[in-house]
A and B are shown apart, each in its own frame.
Chain A
Amino acid sequence: MSYEDWMVRILFVLVLPFIGIFLGLLYKGFDRKITAMMQARIGPPIRQPFRDVKKLFMKENIVPDHAVPWIFNAAPFFALLAPLVALVYLPLGPFEPVMEGYGDLILLLYLLAIPAVAMAVGGLASGSPYATVGAQRELVLMMSYEFPLAIAAVTIAWKYESFSLATISSTPIWGQVGAMGAFGLFLIVIGLFAVLPGELSKVPFDQAEAETELGGGLFVEYSGRNLGVFYLSEAVKMVVVGTLLIALLFPHNLSQWYSFGGPEFAGYVVLNVVADVLFFLLKLLIIIFVGVSVVRVAVARFQIDKASYFYWVPMTLLGLLGTVLVVLEGAI
């Protein structure tokens, strides 16, 4: 790799976190506004999450007496760092991932697990009984939704014979399977969409925070800057999970079907890139709308055992059935 290549990569790595945070907060704003409209409320303006973060960062950071300070303070940063790192390995719209290798997908699954673990560790370190219960729930939930998520990832990787996201997203999977395989994939899509609210701790899988039960659960002792960092982490995670879903299942670009032509820059057609980026943002919005906003408006919070059961039995079976269909088709 050339010297320029490395410089470009380093530049991207420096810029991407800001893009990730910006997009995360923006989509959080969309989610809140759309949810409010569906609940016949007016709702906050789109820029409300930005204001929230600003305010949280201005507030005093309180560490409770019973907490273990260094773990308590470190947890939010781990929770934010992991999804920011994950962003570097994800293809954003028409752009190839900044970093790539042989086991991207596996690395990503682990990076996605880190925020949940960091939240649980932070909650346990805060010394509050509510946070302790919340942490236990978060870990139980994580163990539950990882299963269908892993099944989906493995199935798709098996089809490509590669764990590299760049390979997977370069050709949409739907073109490589027949009718039976497509049905199998459809089941896997359902499984992945079920994982989405769990991964992002939204109703019906917000047991770890559960306002009415635990009064904030994990975050009950967090305030000021620490809470602000958790807030950012949650926002970035939403973008990361959404992008992962897009990369695995819907990596289509507008420029595949229609080219605007026009001037070129560094090997890219500028208008095409703009169109692709907008198309990507739209796809992300749709995924967040379907996977998060609609779901959290339409159902009540589950009890933790029922949430666990939901992931382990119906969703896992659905995922496995999908896998079997995809594999069988390959064998025939």
Chain B
Amino acid sequence: MSDKDTTYQVPIGPIHPALKEPFMINFRLDGETIVDAEAHPGMNHRGIEFMGMHRNPLKVIPLSERICGICSIVHQHMFTTAVEHAAGIEPTNRARYIRTIMAELERIHSHVLWAGVAAHEIGFDTHLHFTWKVREKVMDLLEYIAGNRVNYSMWTIGGVRRDITEKMYPKVNETLDYYESLYKKLEEIFLGDPSIRLRTKDIGILTEEEALRLCGVGPTVRASGVKKDVRIDQPYAAYGDLDLDYVIPSRYGYENTGDVFSKTLVRLKELVQSIDLIRQCVDQMPEGDIDSEPKKAVLLNKLKKADGEGIGRIEAPRGEAFHYARLKEGQEELDCWKIRASTYNNLTTYAPMFMGEQIADIPIIAACIDPCIGCMDRAEIVEINSGERYSYTHEELHVLSVEKTKKILEGSL
């Protein structure tokens, strides 16, 4: 054996069938084994935050929905929560419940969609077609309630725009029953099928230690046994009134291995949890208004007078996500808007998961955090004069923040 370097580089992305969005991971491979992986985000930056800072908060709500195609509820939920927090507006009680129902319906839709994508990534197209077919049922329900399949436009500051009335309960229950009866089959497919087990068991392992160290969120780290769920840790909407527990594999008699298999397991079990939560919401639904301020002109005036900053923190299907909004007195537009989606945190967990695995496992590991690049890409550094693109390293960012803090302390900023 010679000491010659036998590794070679294969770029996955910016456009590649393993990734559904523009994103790039540079792999260094030795034969079929991955020895190094380096992620290069920044290819899907659309300047949404900048656009949002030139509109009044009500106009930002539909914009925020369009950050992501799948979790559109997540972003409008976070944004409205952040603005409500900043302006000191309380959503009505009934609105909290409707928000919870919608968010959980979306979780069902997102997880079923993910299961199909995962099956496709390992070359099992039959289940892609199957899961996407059964997903239509929840899409239909969402359309029935909100009038739209994907961008629901349900949220407004201080409440929701559409009610879920008694008349709609049978349809809701019917859909929930459908998914309950379907769950057995999904479990059989994704946890029982030998060829799927072969491709997911002991693949892309994320240990509990690594999960905590890299600050992963959502099902990605719950599969490793980390008890982390904003719905329980810091309840929002109606979650405080509901009965729910952390979904981790050990609760169901499995080991908290953190491999792709347990991530699948967590997502499937969350499907059951979501069904249960919606049922609880429907049972306990309080009477009352759905919007605390139906007159939008009054609301806008109120927001214009408000001064302060607020945060919205919720558990998206992919994990904890976060919005920050600042309002300035006398200014109609948002003063500042910052988005941090769950994928941003989960991206760092790629490193330990990829190491030592094969090329064949790249798509399924890339998919197992359910990446949403559209949500995540919030910044790209471009040198204006030369057009050169680059990213800051950890050290550079550290130096920059130390300088900024110094400036603030000196009072020169």
Taking CB as reference atom, which chain B residue is nearest A214? B359
Decide yes or no whether A213 CB sits under 8 A from chain B: yes
Decide yes or no whether A301 CB sits under 8 A from chain B: yes
Tell me the bound Cα distance from A211 to B198 in angstroms: 19
Interface residue count on the A side (C-beta < 8 Å):
29
User: Chain B nearest CB: distance from A295 CB in Å?
Assistant: 10
Decide yes or no whether A154 CB sits under 8 A from chain B: no
Which residues of chain A are near B16, meaning CB under 8 Å? 215
Decide yes or no whether B32 CB sits under 8 A from chain A: yes
Which residues of chain B are near A133, meaning CB under 8 Å? 10, 29, 32, 359
A303 close to B360 (CB less than 8 A) = yes
Decide yes or no whether A38 CB sits under 8 A from chain B: yes
Decide yes or no whether B145 CB sits under 8 A from chain A: no
Task: Identify which of residues 110-145 in chain B touch chain A, using a CB-to-CB cut-off of 8 Å.
Answer: 119-126, 129-130, 133
Decide yes or no whether B9 CB sits under 8 A from chain A: yes
Taking CB as reference atom, which chain A residue is nearest B128? A39
Task: Identify which of residues 185-234 in chain B touch chain A, using a CB-to-CB cut-off of 8 Å.
Answer: 193, 195-196, 198-199
B17 close to A204 (CB less than 8 A) = no
Given A212-B121, A297-B126, does the pair A304, B18 have CB atoms closer than 8 Å?
no
Task: Identify which of residues 190-249 in chain A touch chain B, using a CB-to-CB cut-off of 8 Å.
Answer: 203-204, 206-207, 210-215
Tell me the bound Cα distance from A301 to B9 in angstroms: 23
B32 close to A302 (CB less than 8 A) = no
User: Chain A nearest CB: distance from B261 CB in Å?
Assistant: 13
Task: Identify which of residues 40-69 in chain A touch chain B, using a CB-to-CB cut-off of 8 Å.
Answer: 40-41
Decide yes or no whether B169 CB sits under 8 A from chain A: no
Which residues of chain A are near B119, meaning CB under 8 Å? 300
Taking CB as reference atom, which chain A residue is nearest B15? A215
Tell me the bound Cα distance from A302 to B193 in angstroms: 13
Which residues of chain B are near A302, meaning CB under 8 Å? 195, 198-199, 360
Contact of B17 among A215, A297, A305, A306 (CB under 8 A): A215
Which residues of chain A are near B199, meaning CB under 8 Å? 300-303
Contact of A301 among B11, B123, B130 (CB under 8 A): B123
Decide yes or no whether A266 CB sits under 8 A from chain B: no
B8 close to A213 (CB less than 8 A) = no
B358 close to A305 (CB less than 8 A) = yes
A130 close to B10 (CB less than 8 A) = yes
User: Chain B nearest CB: distance from A44 CB in Å?
Assistant: 14
A39 close to B123 (CB less than 8 A) = no
Given A129-B10, A204-B195, does the pair A301, B360 have CB atoms closer than 8 Å?
yes
Task: Identify which of residues 241-299 in chain A touch chain B, using a CB-to-CB cut-off of 8 Å.
Answer: 297-299
Which residues of chain B are near A299, meaning CB under 8 Å? 124, 195
Taking CB as reference atom, which chain A residue is nearest B29? A133
B130 close to A40 (CB less than 8 A) = yes
Which residues of chain B are near A212, meaning CB under 8 Å? 17-18, 120-123, 363
- How would residues 127 to 166 of chain B score, 1 for a CB under 8 Å from any chain A CB and 0 otherwise? 0011001000000000000000000000000000000000
Which residues of chain A are near B130, meaning CB under 8 Å? 39-40
Decide yes or no whether B362 CB sits under 8 A from chain A: yes
- How would residues 32 to 47 of chain B score, 1 for a CB under 8 Å from any chain A CB and 0 otherwise? 1000000000000000
A213 close to B10 (CB less than 8 A) = no
Tell me the bound Cα distance from A150 to B220 in angstroms: 46
B129 close to A300 (CB less than 8 A) = no
User: Chain B nearest CB: distance from A219 CB in Å?
Assistant: 13
Which residues of chain B are near A298, meaning CB under 8 Å? 126
Which residues of chain B are near A214, meaning CB under 8 Å? 359
User: Chain A nearest CB: distance from B403 CB in Å?
Assistant: 41
Decide yes or no whether B361 CB sits under 8 A from chain A: yes
Task: Identify which of residues 282-332 in chain A touch chain B, using a CB-to-CB cut-off of 8 Å.
Answer: 297-306
14 residue pairs from A and B, CB less than 8 Å apart:
A41-B129, A129-B10, A129-B11, A130-B10, A204-B123, A204-B195, A212-B363, A213-B359, A213-B360, A213-B362, A300-B198, A300-B199, A304-B360, A305-B358
Q: Which 8 A-B pairs have the closest CB atoms?
A: A301-B123, A300-B124, A303-B360, A299-B195, A212-B363, A300-B195, A300-B122, A39-B129
Binding site for A on B (CB under 8 A): 8-11, 16-18, 29, 31-32, 119-126, 129-130, 133, 193, 195-196, 198-199, 358-363
List 13 other contacts, CB 8 Å, given A300-B124, A301-B199. A38-B126, A39-B126, A40-B130, A136-B32, A210-B123, A210-B360, A211-B17, A212-B120, A300-B193, A300-B195, A301-B123, A301-B124, A303-B360
